[in-house]
């Protein structure tokens, strides 16, 4: 699954740590999602998208092999 978390964080001048605190996870979790090593739960994906004020489909996108 592709995501635009890093881009959206940069647009809002948020660090991984700041985003992690907002959505209630660790910085390592945010890093793992950004790098594609971990797919978030639906709840976490919704929290992240909500933090950016965007629909979840705008932040996360399925790839053909998903």
By CB atoms closer than 10 A (0-12, 13-18, 19+), residue 41 is: exposed
Residue 2: band (very low, low, confident or very high) from pLDDT cuts 50, 70, 90: very high
- Helix (H/G/I), strand (E/B), else coil: 65: coil
Q: In the chain, what are the domain boundaries?
A: 2-58
Neighbours of 20 (CB within 10 A): 18
- Identify the CATH number of the domain defined by range 2-58: 1.10.260.40
Predicted confidence at residue 66, as pLDDT, reads: 79
The tens digit of pLDDT for each residue in 7-66 reads: 999 999 999 999 999 999 999 999 999 999 999 999 999 999 999 999 999 999 998 887
pLDDT score recorded for residue 10: 97
Identify the bridge partners of residue 8 per DSSP, sorted by sequence position: none
pTM for this model (two decimals): 0.93
**pLDDT at site 29:** 98
């Amino acid at each position: 699954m592709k995501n635009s978390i890093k881009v959206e964080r940069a647009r809002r001048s948020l660090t991984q740590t700041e985003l992690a605190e907002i959505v209630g996870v660790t910085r390592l979790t945010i890093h793992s999602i950004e790098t594609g090593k971990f797919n978030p739960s639906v709840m976490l994906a919704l929290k992240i998208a909500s933090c950016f004020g965007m629909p979840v489909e705008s932040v996360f996108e399925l790839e053909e092999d998903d």
